[in-house]
Structure 1
Amino acid sequence: MSPDATWSIGELAERAGATVKTVRFYSDRGLLPEAARSGGGHRRYGPEALDRLRLIRSLRTLDVPVPDVGRVLERDDALEDVVAGKLRELGTQLTALRWREAALRLLQDCPPGERAERLRLVGGISTPPSTAAMAAFWRSWLPPRLPSRLVAAIVDEAVPQPPDDPTPAQVLAFARLHAFTSGPCTGGDRGQPEAHRTGTGYRPAVLYDGLREAFALASPDLRAQRPPRPGEALDCFVSAHAGALGTRDTAAFRRRLGVQLAAEPRIDHYWQLVAELTSPPSGPREPTPGAAHDWLRAALDASDPRPGRRTREPSSSTNC
């Protein structure tokens, strides 16, 4: 073909293996350059239009939207961004499909008497799953006027990230977590500890900063499955409570703190479900803040030297 030769729209379509309708569609959107118009006003296309049409069709085969195709044709550096965006979109779609498959297996494998309840739970979550209800729960449950950076850190640590490829058991755990955090509260005062209540003398920001440090110090012991024991983690835990009240860490304070913590409402069910959701296929579980808090409470009880001391009894869990 000579450099000056041109093709009609039908000839271009034939050379590209496309339909005339397809060529006209992309041409009308300014994606195909016209070399000239015939005397009768018909479009004529040169070799560059064939190369561009082939590129357009390759991108459309990958399901790249027409506006993004235009970006790729206009800018040399746009292809990388478009490909990255499509990969993110496909990742979301694949995750949604894996969650649906696991949910269907959950329903398929459960006893018939449990199927209706599980269907109700699974029907309450989206795919891919959203953790918005859990984040809202924690922002509501935490004491007011905490610094925003501390709230963000606590929510990030307390709200689990759903796995991309869940097992049926993990789908059930997530569905129960969603129902737990989005349902109505039961129990007085929203099931919150004394430190959240006004008029108790606590400085919650001081407490929660210290608790996060204590939980981090206790985590190696939990991973190693060591029994609760005195040490740096427990000292930090008690110091957080003492500092929040503006008092000192003494034996008498530890005794009072142990009694107070044993009587407070708890949300053990939440942390149990988090552990089920985030448990690896093999090996020890990654400790949750709830597990670290339990370990430190048990260490506090174990550090009480009084004879005949009362061992800690599990307190009731509230739905809040």
Structure 2
Amino acid sequence: MSPDGLWSIGELAEHAGVTVKTVRFYSDQGLLPETARSSGGHRRYGPAALDRLRLIRSLRALDLPLPEVRRVLDEEDEPGPALADAVAGRLREVRTQLRALRWRETALRLVQEAPHAERADRVRLLGALPTPPTTDAPVRFWRAWLPARMPARAVDAFLDVAVPQPPDDPRPEQALAFARLHALTSAPCPGRVQPRPEAHRLAGGRGAAVLYAGLAEAYELAAVQLRRDRRPRPGEALDGFVAAYAEAYGTADTPGFRRALAPQLADDPRLDGYWRLVSEIVTPPGERPDPTPGEAHDWLLAALHADLAEAG
């Protein structure tokens, strides 16, 4: 150190174990201000610059961007809230990157292990999936399918049930099912227009909220029957199912209403395929799949037809 207690840029670089170029860069960025200038205009640094330079390099080693480093250095005391916020933000980014890498690895394995005849189709299927995957496509699919004026709270409740979240570390079968779900919900609808059930038109937006609240209860009752491998039949589950439609329509559950309701609830193969894929995504390995809302709906519809057949 010179008699004035200051270091030249080269001396500071030597003490810190970095290059002069590194010290000059951080100085030019305003992160490492010099204490003074020599008579020849050269930068001079005090001992505190060494600690500051080491802190800068430690923050950069954590991959914090320069604006975040600046905010940490601007704190008057020891690194506090700015550092905590910067680390938390970077941690979120790293987790997203790790999720993307895990999905990319699984996709590559699926392509590698695919039979030769299926490899090209699998490349197209998996290549169309965002990395990391999002739920944007299925959410758009359901928002176009649900009544336009259905209350936002009811829509959100439905989406929470209907749209599976992509797992952070997917098994190959989950990744393939999610890619197929994305393709199904991204594909153009027949006629380029998303068909809406007749029940939505009859119930209207607010009536649909009542309808789906009632259907959720009926589906739970039907799921109990499905777990027991019971054949579709009249009973409490069917009564709740029909009552949900009757309340949404503002009418009563009568034999005539049931006869009129049945044709409005035709099977939808596209939705059946959707729910099968959801089951593949959410079911843990080795466990029996839990009945999906689609399976519950099909069971209840079959029970309605059985009830009408019995009534003649």
TM-score tier (shorter): 0.7 to 0.9
Name the CA distance, whole Å, in 2 between partners of 1:231 and 1:78: 61
Q: What is the aligned length?
A: 304
**CA distance 1:130–1:121, change in 2 (3 Å):** same
Structure-2 separation of matches of 1:256 and 1:131 = 36
State whether residues 150 and 208 of structure 2, in contact with CA within 8 Å, keep that contact through their aligned partners in structure 1.
Answer: no
RMSD: 2.8
- Say yes or no: does 1:32 pair with 2:35: no
Shift of 1:147: 2.3
Residue matched to 2:268: 265
Provide closer, same or farther for how the CA distance between residues 44 and 268 of structure 1 changes in structure 2, counting only shifts above 3 A: same
Out of 145, 153, 157, the position equivalent to 2:157 is 153
Q: Aligned partners of 1:295, 1:4: CA distance in 2, in Å?
A: 89
Matches of 2:64 and 2:295, distance apart in 1: 46
Distance in 2 of aligned mates of 1:239 and 1:141: 22
The answer to whether the Cα contact below 8 Å between 2:222 and 2:296 also exists between their aligned partners in 1 is: no
1:293 equivalent to 2:297? Answer yes
For residues 34 and 190 of structure 1, what CA distance do their matches in structure 2 show?
Answer: 65
Give the AA of the match of 1:21: K
Deviations 1:264-283 (A, max 9, x none): 53521111111112222243
Q: Which structure has the highest helix share of the two?
A: 2
Whole-angstrom CA distance in 2 between matches of 1:287 and 1:116 = 33
Offset of residue 151 of structure 1: 2.6
* Preserved contact between residue 7 and residue 46 of structure 1 (Cα < 8 Å): yes
Question: 1:308 Cα deviation (Å)?
Answer: 8.7
Secondary structure in structure 2 of the residue aligned to 1:202? helix
CA distance in 1, matches of 2:193, 2:68: 53
- Post-superposition CA distance 1:165-211 (Å, at most 9, x none): 112212211121111111121279744321134xxx43343234332
In 1, are the aligned partners of 2:8 and 2:42 still within 8 Å (CA)? yes
* Residue matched to 2:50: 50
Q: 1:214 to 1:9 in 2, by over 3 A?
A: same
Matched with 1:186 is: 190
Matched, 1:225 2:227: yes
TM-score by length of 1: 0.84
Q: Which runs of 5+ in 2 are unaligned?
A: none
SS at the partner of 2:44? strand
In structure 1, runs of 5+ residues without a counterpart are 310-320
> Contact 2:9–2:44 (CA<8 Å) still a contact in 1?
yes
Percent of paired sites with the same residue? 61
Counterpart secondary structure, 2:169: coil
Evaluate the alpha carbon distance shift between residue 175 and residue 231 of structure 1 in structure 2; reply closer, same or farther with a 3 A threshold: same
